[in-house]
Structure 1
Amino acid sequence: MQGPRGLAVIAGAGLSLLALAAEAALDFDPARHEAVGALVEELAEKGIERDWLEAAMRDADFQQGVLDAMAGAAERHLRWDEYREIFLQPERISRGVAFIEAHRDAFDRAEAEYGVPPEMIAAIIGVETSYGRFTGRHRVLDSLSTLAFHHPVRGDFFRGELAAFLEITREQGVDPGSLDGSYAGAMGYPQFIPTSYRAYAVDFDGDGIRDLWTNPVDAIGSVGNYFAEHGWRPGAPIYHDAEGPGDLPGRVEFNQTRPPYADIATLAGVGIVPRGELAVDREVVPLALDFEDGAYRYRVGHRNFYVITRYNHSHLYAMAVTELAEAIRDARALEATPLTPPGDDSEGAS
């Protein structure tokens, strides 16, 4: 029979075993986890050194905060005026102007090659990371490992992102544990997820490396390439303002992030009329932007608006990027306009 001390020792041993079991469940040692080992095996068969892969995964740490952040991603709905206020700040606009001026050659080349205006590329980078100033505080390796093996719904998706991340870092000779990004594993100036990095990142400065983490020139070209690959139409409009009723028409689906789907004639039938001449059979994305007073501002998005939503599947995001791009464009035009000296009325003299 065990005395009280013996029972305490047994109980303590049991708690220690539970703690060890819990710790083992949350690490990513391929030798102890079948799913992690399978990923290592898959990448080893592609030619990545097994020792390197195993060391990388042993270095990964489980992060509960990443799962918490993912669970809270679908937070309360922000009205358009609330969302807009986050990004349409004078400092972000002025930084966008300065960012373009600092890398004018790269922006000009990106526009010539991909057809995307400088202010649009700058606005994407400005919204994502404030022009590279805030690229994330989570180790990408930790975030993607946690999501790949512990997310209850999207584990398979993030397993693919983790595999792509390991491939990229090995190819480029980068320590996977050295890179920070978002809680969802987005990286660098433009916050590309690893599969987008593989598909759309370009070596825009010709140094032989596609570096979106520290190289703004590669980031500029890569955003331009991303837009071009998703069907950006140079010179085409992004949206038109529209007039509409005080109450949302129930027969129209608003703010959908899919290709233009409602024609102008149908919208006119419920009182939504774009400002400008558009063919009655022209298909658009009906947008209703809400404000604190309950009022709506109507717009219609075109194909280029849809392309912006491929970067982030949110109509608020696409409109914020668009308005920031417009503000940067207008600020650049204002700076480029020579001022008339005080008292100079020669233009009106006869």
Structure 2
Amino acid sequence: MYLPPLTTQIPDMLIPFETARRLVKSIASILISTALYTQAAHAQDTTRVNFSEREAAVSMAQRLQEKEGIAIADTLALLKQAELLPRVVQAVKPPKTKGVRNWDTYRSRFVEPIRIRKGMAFWNENLETLKQAEAKYNIPQEVIVAIIGVETIYGEHIGNYRVLDSLATLAFAYPEGQKDRSGFFLSELESFIALCNKTHLDALEVKGSYAGAIGLGQFMPSSWTAYAVDGDADGIVDLFHSRKDAIFSVANFLKVHGWESGKATRVLVDIEHADNLAELLAPDIVPTFTAAAMQQKGLKLNGETLPDEKLALIELVRGEGESAYVVGGQNFFVVTRYNRSSFYANAVLELSEALKLRRDMLN
């Protein structure tokens, strides 16, 4: 421990030795208390559970040995180091008081000045890469920029959860009382271990969202394996540090999932004279009706669509008994493959429109 001199000088003042000693003692006490509090908080936030003893873990280890050549003992040794995260369990639980999702509240989190300003900067800094991605995959630059903005604010919020812990928690300790998705997370945990075995990623160090999504574009491990590409051609796919890899990978994901150049993303609509709203809303986000069929049912579309393309009427609930509506085309549906939510897709596409409008005004 640092020992102060007999007198400690502060501008224009000398502190006597005894006063300085008491001051140092007080500071040391505060530091110790802070350290103990931090340790206690960490202890409350993590629980030691030997996931390697679970039957599903052993079966997964056997599959990884058969498919990836990873020794069973290595997988089980890794799972012994995983921690159960109560925060993650709480995060996937439904709220105690069930409320109505509110589109306006959701929108305000993503279509807002910070993401627009940072999105413009990201677009300018990566213009050539975005042009290359658009040329190769036929995905509009603004849509790529918007997805990375919604997901991580251009890399600012990639996530602070150790992915091994998050995925193990959701695979082996998924909360009861709701639809069980533990199988999905077990599959993602398996993909994550295989991914780390094939790449430069350290399974004990990688951090991401509470659900295990990683990198600038928040790919789940299986999506990294299936859709991530080496955009900068350096021999390594790095969705954390290579913006080119991230941009190309987002574009590739959308292309593989069926993005079609020239088809509608979202179209504003007037429903005032709709004949049967329930029938139009029944398919949810799945494109089902042509523009002509929608118009025959009383909808007025305020945007361009192709005559033969299928569309869906999307309801964006604003609260009890109040909603906004938009028509989504094939490309709206494709964005929901990234995150299966109409709120998410509409937020991404509104942000992309705001970014493009700002860029067009400046150029």
* TM-score bucket of the superposed structures, by smaller chain: 0.7 to 0.9
Is residue 2:78 matched to residue 1:56? yes
Residue of structure 1 equivalent to 2:281: 253
Give the alignment of 1:1-150 within 5 angstroms: 26-28=49-51, 30=52, 32-45=53-66, 46-72=68-94, 76-150=99-173
Structure 1 residue ranges, 4+ long, deviating more than 6 angstroms after superposition: none
Write the distance in 2 (CA, Å) between the matches of 1:277 and 1:33.
55
**Aligned Cα RMSD in Å?**
2.5
C-alpha spacing 1:173/1:276, structure 2 compared with 1 (3 Å): closer
Give the alignment of 1:1-350 within 5 angstroms: 26-28=49-51, 30=52, 32-45=53-66, 46-72=68-94, 76-151=99-174, 152=176, 153-245=180-272, 249-253=277-281, 256-258=284-286, 260-276=287-303, 282-291=309-318, 296-336=323-363
Write the distance in 2 (CA, Å) between the matches of 1:253 and 1:280.
20
Question: Normalized against structure 2, the TM-score is what?
Answer: 0.78
Residues 253-279 of structure 1: CA deviation (Å, up to 9, x unaligned)? 168232x11333443344211124657
- Residue 40 of structure 1 deviates from its aligned partner by 1.8
C-alpha spacing 1:297/1:168, structure 2 compared with 1 (3 Å): same
Residues 72-118 of structure 1: CA deviation (Å, up to 9, x unaligned)? 38974332222111111111101111101111221111001001111
Partners of 2:313 and 2:328 within 8 A in 1: yes
Write the distance in 2 (CA, Å) between the matches of 1:281 and 1:198.
35
Partners of 1:27 and 1:58 within 8 A in 2: yes
Residue of structure 2 equivalent to 1:344: none
Mind listing any 5+ residue stretches in structure 2 that lack a counterpart? 1-46
Write the distance in 2 (CA, Å) between the matches of 1:186 and 1:224.
17
- Comparing 120-129 and 150-159, the one that deviates more: 150-159
Mind listing any 5+ residue stretches in structure 1 that lack a counterpart? 1-22, 337-350
Question: Normalized against structure 1, the TM-score is what?
Answer: 0.81
Write the distance in 2 (CA, Å) between the matches of 1:225 and 1:79.
31
C-alpha spacing 1:73/1:178, structure 2 compared with 1 (3 Å): farther
| Partner secondary structure for residue 156 of structure 1 | helix
Partners of 1:27 and 1:62 within 8 A in 2: no
C-alpha spacing 1:330/1:252, structure 2 compared with 1 (3 Å): same
Residues 236-290 of structure 1: CA deviation (Å, up to 9, x unaligned)? 33122121228983332168232x1133344334421112465776531112334
- Residue 311 of structure 1 deviates from its aligned partner by 0.7
- Residue 298 of structure 1 deviates from its aligned partner by 3.2
C-alpha spacing 1:296/1:34, structure 2 compared with 1 (3 Å): closer
Partners of 1:254 and 1:287 within 8 A in 2: no
Write the distance in 2 (CA, Å) between the matches of 1:53 and 1:245.
59
C-alpha spacing 1:76/1:135, structure 2 compared with 1 (3 Å): farther
| Partner secondary structure for residue 298 of structure 1 | strand
Write the distance in 2 (CA, Å) between the matches of 1:245 and 1:213.
47
Partners of 2:273 and 2:299 within 8 A in 1: no
| Partner secondary structure for residue 199 of structure 1 | helix
Identity %: 37
C-alpha spacing 1:279/1:202, structure 2 compared with 1 (3 Å): closer
C-alpha spacing 1:113/1:27, structure 2 compared with 1 (3 Å): same
Residues 110-167 of structure 1: CA deviation (Å, up to 9, x unaligned)? 0010011111001000001111100112110001111111225122211110011001
| Partner secondary structure for residue 177 of structure 1 | coil
Residue identity opposite 2:60 in structure 1: L
C-alpha spacing 1:255/1:137, structure 2 compared with 1 (3 Å): farther
Residue of structure 1 equivalent to 2:36: none
Partners of 2:57 and 2:76 within 8 A in 1: no
Residues 143-195 of structure 1: CA deviation (Å, up to 9, x unaligned)? 11111112251222111100110011111132211111111111111111111
